[in-house]
């Protein structure tokens, strides 16, 4: 069976016209969202509430380009292969316009590689490894949250003020943990060449052997501890460390621990005086945070968490790119996103052109106990743009 040239051109033309016809008909803009809902529910369930609120607000105002937003969500169970399988189904069967989401760094890297292979846009919300936008960065991947480098750059100046010279580290044994420790060690030594890192512990993510980990850290006789554990691992580590006196007389610098989803489950066992990154939601009064928190409480009858902010901002970042591009066509979106600014609960943020990293920042402060639960005090906000290295540094790492 053969096709005439005229028939072939007609068929090709109809295929090319399909996206335009869908837009003209007001078909919904479909975002294929993938995340570790069953693996890390403490973060991802508030995150889902955040993007749900954003979608509802945008649709209530008429959507984008005259079209409603629709999010088709899938659970990757914390497994890269499941995430890639879900991405294929969303692109091929559900016909989504773009991919978004991700929590674990190894999952984010798998989705980024797949997006490059398929030449489809992937907007990563949470995966923190710098490889996502630097060593393995590509045209089709953009990342919202502050990276491991950025978080280390926010914490290192505060850590450098401590008198401690002997440091130990504890971090989960996958990409996020190794990247976080690498950058913190490098940046702290830039501020304090006299510090030494004398021991490291690399527990399996979500399966920490807290007694063994705490014993090994204590045996190194450190003056300070850099902690990268989170979620259930953090809870186990803190409880075991408290019971064995690991933290007594020692300084602790801890990434993510000030986020409500990780701090609140500790209750009265929450550590005091740790230097942390997080989200002091109950003490924020600036207009952007106040408006977001008020709307979130009204919709879900609970306080927002850091995951809520990420989910909300993720949708805002995508919508800004679609509005600027005037289309959901992949290549046009990849051209439009760099340099585009968008609103978030933390203020206006933009997508950097050089590496597709957003300039969303984070809060740095100390932990304290109030009314029987942990909070952040003495905090300040660090703009993400101020925690990023020079363009020359990025160019050495990111593929041309």
Q: What percent of the chain has pLDDT over 70?
A: 94
What is the residue-wise DSSP string for 56-106?
A: HHHHHTT-BTTB-EEEEEEE-TT-HHHHHHHHHHHHHTS--SEEEE--SHH
DSSP E strands in 139-238: the ranges are 141-143, 166-170, 196-201, 224-227
pLDDT of residue 271: 95
Are the CB atoms for 253 and 159 separated by under 8 Å? Answer: yes
Lookup: tokens for 235: 């809870």
pLDDT at position 1 over 80: no
pLDDT digits (tens, 9 = 90+) for 310-364: 999 999 999 999 999 999 999 999 999 999 999 999 999 999 999 999 999 999 9
Is the pLDDT confidence value at 3 over 50?
no
Which helix (H) or strand (E) is 389 found in, with range? none
Q: State the greatest distance between any 2 C-alpha atoms of the chain, in Å, as a whole number.
A: 82
Q: How confident is the model at residue 14 (pLDDT cuts 50, 70, 90)?
A: very low
Which residues neighbour 339 within 8 Å (Cβ) at sequence distance 6 or greater?
A: 350, 351, 352, 353
Q: Using the structure block, give the residue that is written with the tokens 């760099």.
A: 338
Q: Where do the H-state alpha helices sit in the chain?
A: 5-24, 41-60, 80-92, 105-118, 148-160, 175-191, 210-219, 231-244, 260-263, 287-300, 306-325, 330-336, 391-397
Ranking 15-19, 113-117, 160-164, 166-170 by mean pLDDT, the lowest is 15-19
Residue with tokens 């007001």: 26
Fold of 8-147+285-361: Rossmann fold (3.40.50)
The confidence score (pLDDT) of residue 399 equals 87
**Residues composing the chain:** 400
| 3-class state of residue 47 by DSSP | helix
Enter the CATH code of domain 149-283+363-397: 3.40.50.2300
Tokens 């009064």 belong to residue: 285
Residue 181, H or E segment: helix 175-191
Say whether pLDDT at 216 is over 80: yes
Count other C-beta atoms under 10 Å from residue 301's C-beta. 7
Mutual orientation of helices 287-300 and 41-60 as an angle, nearest 10°? 100
Average pLDDT of every residue of the chain = 93
8-147+285-361 and 149-283+363-397, same CATH topology: yes
Residue 82 CA to residue 59 CA, distance in Å, equals 30
In the beta sheet, which residues pair with residue 225? 168, 252
Supply the pLDDT for residue 26: 82
Q: Where are the domains of the chain?
A: 8-147+285-361, 149-283+363-397
Which of 65, 44, 30, 49 has the alpha carbon at shortest distance from 107?
Answer: 44
- pLDDT computed for residue 145 by the predictor: 97
Cα–Cα distance for residue pair 36/124, rounded to 1 Å: 13
For residue 2, is pLDDT > 70?
A: no
Please say whether the beta carbons of 217 and 225 come within 8 A.
yes
* Secondary structure class of 197 (helix, strand, coil): strand
Q: What strands lie across the sheet with 166-170, from one edge to the other?
A: 196-201, 166-170, 224-227, 251-258, 275-278, 362-370, 373-382
* 270 vs 4 pLDDT, higher one: 270
Task: Enter the tokens of residue 185.
Answer: 């060690």
């Amino acid at each position: 069976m053969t096709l005439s040239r005229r028939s072939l051109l007609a068929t090709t033309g109809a295929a090319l016209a399909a996206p335009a016809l869908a837009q003209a008909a007001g078909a919904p803009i479909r975002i294929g969202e993938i995340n570790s809902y069953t693996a890390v529910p403490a973060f991802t369930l508030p995150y889902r509430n955040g993007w749900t609120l954003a979608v509802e607000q945008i649709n209530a105002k008429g959507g984008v380009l005259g079209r409603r937003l629709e999010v088709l969500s899938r659970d990757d169970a914390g497994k890269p292969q499941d995430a890639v399988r879900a991405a294929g189904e969303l692109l091929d069967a559900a016909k989504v316009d773009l991919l978004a989401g991700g929590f674990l760094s190894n999952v984010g890297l798998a989705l980024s590689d797949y997006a490059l292979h398929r030449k489809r846009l992937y907007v990563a919300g949470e995966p923190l490894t710098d490889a996502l936008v630097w060593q393995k960065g590509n045209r089709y991947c953009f990342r919202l949250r502050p990276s491991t480098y950025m978080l280390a750059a926010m914490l290192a100046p505060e850590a450098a003020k401590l008198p401690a010279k002997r440091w130990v580290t504890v971090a989960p044994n996958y990409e996020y943990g190794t990247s976080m420790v690498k950058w913190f060690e490098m940046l702290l030594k830039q501020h304090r060449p006299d510090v030494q890192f004398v021991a490291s512990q690399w527990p399996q993510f979500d399966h920490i052997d807290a007694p063994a980990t705490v014993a090994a850290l204590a045996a190194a006789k450190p003056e300070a501890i850099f902690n990268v554990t989170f979620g259930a691992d953090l809870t186990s580590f803190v409880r075991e460390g408290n019971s064995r006196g690991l933290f007594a007389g020692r300084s602790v610098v801890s990434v993510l621990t000030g986020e409500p989803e990780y701090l609140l489950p500790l209750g009265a066992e929450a550590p005091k005086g740790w230097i942390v990154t997080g989200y002091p939601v109950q003490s924020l009064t600036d207009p952007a945070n106040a408006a977001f928190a008020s709307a979130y409480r009204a919709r879900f009858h609970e306080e927002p968490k850091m995951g809520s902010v990420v989910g909300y901002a993720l949708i805002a970042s995508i919508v800004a790119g679609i509005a600027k591009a005037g289309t959901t066509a992949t290549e046009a979106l990849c051209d439009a996103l760099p340099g585009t600014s968008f609103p978030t609960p933390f203020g206006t943020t933009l997508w950097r052109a050089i590496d597709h990293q957003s300039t969303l920042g984070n809060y740095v402060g100390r932990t304290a106990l109030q009314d029987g639960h942990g909070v952040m005090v003495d905090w300040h906000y660090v703009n993400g743009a101020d925690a990023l290295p020079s363009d020359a540094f990025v160019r050495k790492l990111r593929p041309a």
